[in-house]
Amino acid sequence: MLQMLAPLRLTLLGLATLPLFACWLLALPLMLLVPAAESVLQPMIVGTWARATLWIMGVRVRVEGPRPAGGFFLVANHLSYIDIPVLLSQLNGRFLAKSEIASWPVLGLLARATGTLFIDRSRKRDLTRAIEEVTALIQRGPGVIVFPEATSTDGAEVHPFKPSMFEVPSQLGLEVSCAALHYANPPGVRPAWENVCWWGDADFAPHFWEFLKLPRTIATVTFAPDPVRPQAGAESPDRKALAEGSRRVIEHLFTPSRPASSPPPAQ
More reliable by pLDDT, 81 or 165:
81
Taking CA 241 as the corner, what is the angle to CA 240 and CA 245, rounded to the nearest 5 degrees? 120
The span from the CA of 231 to the CA of 170, in Å, is 10
Q: Which residues of 26-37 are buried (b: 16+ CB within 10 A; e: fewer)?
A: ebeeebeeeeee
pLDDT in tens, 126-175: 777 777 888 888 877 788 999 999 889 999 999 999 888 888 888 888 89
Q: Give pLDDT, residue 267.
A: 42
What's the whole-number average pLDDT of the chain?
A: 85
Asked if 194 and 266 touch (Cβ cutoff 8 Å), the reply is yes
The pLDDT value recorded for residue 233 is 46
Domains in the chain, CATH or no CATH each: 2-253 (3.40.1130)
Per-residue pLDDT at 178: 97
Q: What is the mean pLDDT of residues 187-205?
A: 91
For the stretch 159-166, contacts whose Cβ atoms lie closer than 8 Å and that sit 24 or more positions apart, written own/partner, are: 159/77, 160/247, 161/75, 161/243, 161/244, 161/246, 161/247, 162/121, 162/243, 163/239, 163/240, 163/242, 163/243, 164/121, 164/239, 165/75, 165/96, 165/243, 166/239, 166/240, 166/242, 166/243, 166/246
What angle separates helix 204-212 from helix 2-33, to the nearest 10 degrees?
Answer: 110
Q: Residues, the chain, total?
A: 267
Query: Mind listing the pLDDT tens digit for each residue in 21-50?
Result: 788 778 777 777 777 777 777 788 889 999
